[in-house]
Amino acid sequence: MITLRGLTKRFGDKTAVDGLTLEVAAGKVTGFLGPNGAGKSTTMRMIVGLDRPTAGEALVGGRRYLGLPRPLREVGALLDAGFVHPGRPARAHLLAMARSNGIPRTRVDEVLGIVGLESVAGKRVGSFSLGMRQRLGIAGALVGDPEVLMFDEPVNGLDPDGVLWVRRLMRGLAAEGRTVFVSSHLMSEMQLTADRLVVLGRGRVLADAPIADVIARGSGDSVRVRSPRAAELAARLAAVGATVRRTTDEELQVTGLSVDRIGLMAHEISVPVLELSAVTASLEEAYMNLTGASVEYGTGTAEARR
Query: CATH number of the domain that 45 lies in?
Result: 3.40.50.300
- Please write the tens of the pLDDT for every residue from 158-217: 999 999 999 999 999 999 999 999 999 888 899 999 999 999 999 999 999 998 888 877
Say whether both 68 and 197 belong to one domain.
yes
Domain of 244: which CATH number? 3.30.70.100
- Give the residue numbers spanning the domain of 27: 2-210
Say whether both 20 and 123 belong to one domain.
yes
Q: Are 196 and 30 in contact (CB under 8 A)?
A: yes
Say whether both 178 and 249 belong to one domain.
no
Say whether both 107 and 229 belong to one domain.
no
98 part of a folded domain:
yes
Say whether both 94 and 36 belong to one domain.
yes
DSSP H helices, the chain, are 40-47, 90-100, 105-115, 130-142, 160-175, 187-193, 211-218, 230-239, 259-268, 283-291, 302-305
Say whether both 137 and 238 belong to one domain.
no
pLDDT bracket for residue 299 (50, 70, 90): low
Say whether both 252 and 105 belong to one domain.
no
Instruction: Tell me if the pTM is above 0.85.
Output: no
Q: Are 76 and 34 in contact (CB under 8 A)?
A: no
Residue 175, Ramachandran bin (φ over 0: left; ψ between -120 and 50: alpha; else beta): alpha
Amino acid at 202: R
- Please write the tens of the pLDDT for every residue from 250-274: 999 998 899 999 999 999 999 999 9
Say whether both 124 and 249 belong to one domain.
no
Q: How many domains does the chain have?
A: 2
